[in-house]
Structure 1
Amino acid sequence: MISDAKILEAVDTEAKLIFFAGKGGVGKTSISSITAVHLAEKGYKTLLLTTDPASHLEDVFEQDVSGEITSVKGVDNLDIVKIDPKEVAEEYKNKVLNEAREKNYTDEMLMGLKEELESPCTEEMASFDKFIDYTEKDYYQQIVFDTAPTGHTLRLLELPLNWNQQLEFKMANNRENKADLESQKRFKKVIDKLQNKNQTIFAFTLYPENTPILEASRAVEELKTVDIETQLIIANKILPAEFCTTPYFKKRKEMQDKHLEEMKDIFSAPIIKMPLLAEEIKGIELLKEAGKKLFEEKI
């Protein structure tokens, strides 16, 4: 077990980004929530942000979570917010079109831009644009991301430059096209931050089972193609040895141990083990207890 020093290293005046990705249903929301509470308890001004439409942060924190930043009840230094893809897509479309009108785009150019904004990837692009808004906030020392399942997360990270290249091409004959390059510079700045190991930690959450391990290993390799290195692996719901006394649980424990050993060869990043708790992780007290087990205790 590595200490929380690994998570907290390189913290400075700039916001540090911590992403939790992985296959759907492996516990990303729980792990990201535990981490956010743990960081806030350590005294870091922290924002927990979800881009996962299936996230159940409301249940975990037992309070409403919306598109407006809200303080978490019972935890100093912790705020929470949700990015709703459909909601931010409408905001994004309106913003892009209004900016285009201010730059005196012709009717023909506006029509082409409207068509481009009807692309299926607009929601993801809008989510990324909103995500940038939060990364630019100097108010937070730590921003923890509860991301959508792996494929959506990878598209979120890979899409921006391709999207902007398309817009640039469509507006290539516009004499004010240089102004459009400002958004590209903005995207480039945040991508540089994502690729900087001193500013961003990218972690995968998984169960020690074949399918989640295989999906995570593929995603780790794909992230390398955009120069993003995975720095942590969280093996979730590990059976505590002291409770594995029946033949069934002994066999399950053997299977988990086997996969954990295999993971050491598959992943170069450190592996943190999160034990299976007797209760569902809900409420501040249980989140704090889980944080101690995840970051401070060895199993």
Structure 2
Amino acid sequence: MSRLETAIYPQKGGRKNIFFSGKGGVGKTSMACITAVETARKGFKTLLLTTDPAAHIGNVLDKPVSDKITAIDGVENLYAAKIDQKKATEEYKQNVLKDAEAKFDANTIMAMKEELDSPCTEEMASFQKFVEFASLEEYEVIVFDTAPTGHTLRMLELPMDWSKQIQLKAGVSTEISEEDKKQKERFDRVIDMMKDENTTTFAFVMYPERTPIIEAYRASQELMTLDIKTQLVVANLIIPEEQAISPFYKKRRGMQLGYIEEIKDTFKDAELLKVPMFEDEIKGIDMINSISDRIF
């Protein structure tokens, strides 16, 4: 197996989780869809997940995607679902507060509500949903189109569930329930899985310009502190050589080639996947199949 094949296909009857990360607008969702279609075509039962509230994977696949796992017509072995962040966050808040209201006074509950309004809560709630999906045994590949940040993963490494952290910040302490312990065990299993290079691939998508490279490098360094290595980097939106005819596009392509060298130097231990810019919007299974044949 080549390094690229090792990064995207399960090994020896195992499982593969692929997380696509990167700043907004670099093409994470398109790459997640292309990769999921590729693994499904190779015969691996694949689940494609997104936390994008607009369910952009549905636009790229040109198929309906809901918060329930749905088989994707036209691609055998491919299933998809969107994690509804708003719904997941509300459920998460309700569960934390329901548990707390039986134990604490109104002032403590008020302090906890304020703490639950932080952006971290949304990430935690989404990740909790991901943990539910990642615990499903029947999928050989799970492709996730927005990776959790190092910040979220670090919180999960704390010795107790996030809701307990909120209680501590609110100035109260309580015993960890059996349910919390089970949840923590599930989190720990998934985090261990994410650290296992044979099981999980963290991929950063960027277009070949300085800002996306810097942002991806910083995020990859943060993940390194958690023993999670970046195994795949995607240089997206490269102007094809045959299209670099005018002085403007020649100059832009020359600049991109320079930054591709910088990506190679910056992410020495990762496999580099180069993806050209296409004249049409990436949409529909036929186009995704064609791109998949070209880049993999």
Q: TM-score range by the shorter chain?
A: 0.7 to 0.9
Q: Secondary structure at the match of 1:285?
A: helix
Alpha-carbon distance between aligned partners in 1 of 2:93 and 2:263, rounded to the nearest angstrom: 43
Q: How does 1:43-192 map to 2 (within 5 A)?
A: 43-53=43-53, 56-96=56-96, 100=99, 105-108=102-105, 111=109, 115=113, 118-120=116-118, 121-147=120-146, 153-162=149-158, 163=162, 166=165, 169=168, 172-174=173-175, 177=177, 179-192=179-192
Alignment root-mean-square deviation, CA: 2.6
Q: C-alpha offsets along residues 191-230 of structure 1, whole Å, 9 cap, x if unaligned?
A: 1111111110000000001111111111111111122110
Q: C-alpha offsets along residues 77-129 of structure 1, whole Å, 9 cap, x if unaligned?
A: 0011111111111222344456x38xx95354994795377331222111111
Residue pair 1:14, 1:138 contacting (<8 A) in 2 also = no
Alpha-carbon distance between aligned partners in 2 of 1:105 and 1:112, rounded to the nearest angstrom: 14
Task: Give 1:12 deviation, angstroms.
Answer: 4.8
TM-score scaled by length of structure 2? 0.87
Alpha-carbon distance between aligned partners in 2 of 1:112 and 1:161, rounded to the nearest angstrom: 26
Unaligned runs of 5+ in 2: none
Unaligned runs of 5+ in 1: none
Alpha-carbon distance between aligned partners in 2 of 1:78 and 1:289, rounded to the nearest angstrom: 17
Number of residues of Structure 1 aligned to a counterpart in Structure 2: 287
Alpha-carbon distance between aligned partners in 1 of 2:215 and 2:127, rounded to the nearest angstrom: 23
Residue pair 2:115, 2:166 contacting (<8 A) in 1 also = no
Change (3 A) 1:161 1:117: farther
Change (3 A) 1:82 1:248: same
| Equivalent residue, structure 1, for 2:291 | 290
More relative contact order, 1 or 2 (CA 8 Å, 6+ apart) = 1
**Percent identity among equivalent residues?**
44
What is the letter of the counterpart of residue 123 of structure 1? E
Task: Give 1:178 deviation, angstroms.
Answer: 5.4
Matched, 1:255 2:252: no
Residue pair 1:70, 1:80 contacting (<8 A) in 2 also = yes
| Equivalent residue, structure 2, for 1:275 | 276
Residue pair 1:223, 1:229 contacting (<8 A) in 2 also = yes
Residue pair 1:171, 1:177 contacting (<8 A) in 2 also = no
TM-score scaled by length of structure 1? 0.86
| Equivalent residue, structure 1, for 2:35 | 35
Alpha-carbon distance between aligned partners in 1 of 2:141 and 2:207, rounded to the nearest angstrom: 26
Alpha-carbon distance between aligned partners in 2 of 1:292 and 1:204, rounded to the nearest angstrom: 21
Matched, 1:205 2:205: yes
Q: Secondary structure at the match of 1:231?
A: strand
Residue pair 1:45, 1:142 contacting (<8 A) in 2 also = yes
Task: Give 1:66 deviation, angstroms.
Answer: 1.5
| Equivalent residue, structure 1, for 2:266 | 266
Residue pair 1:220, 1:230 contacting (<8 A) in 2 also = yes
Change (3 A) 1:76 1:117: farther
Alpha-carbon distance between aligned partners in 1 of 2:194 and 2:94, rounded to the nearest angstrom: 27
Q: Secondary structure at the match of 2:75?
A: coil
Q: Secondary structure at the match of 1:143?
A: strand
Alpha-carbon distance between aligned partners in 2 of 1:52 and 1:108, rounded to the nearest angstrom: 37
Q: Secondary structure at the match of 2:201?
A: strand
Change (3 A) 1:177 1:58: closer
Q: C-alpha offsets along residues 127-159 of structure 1, whole Å, 9 cap, x if unaligned?
A: 1110100100001000001117xxx63444333
Change (3 A) 1:3 1:281: farther
Residue pair 1:34, 1:287 contacting (<8 A) in 2 also = yes
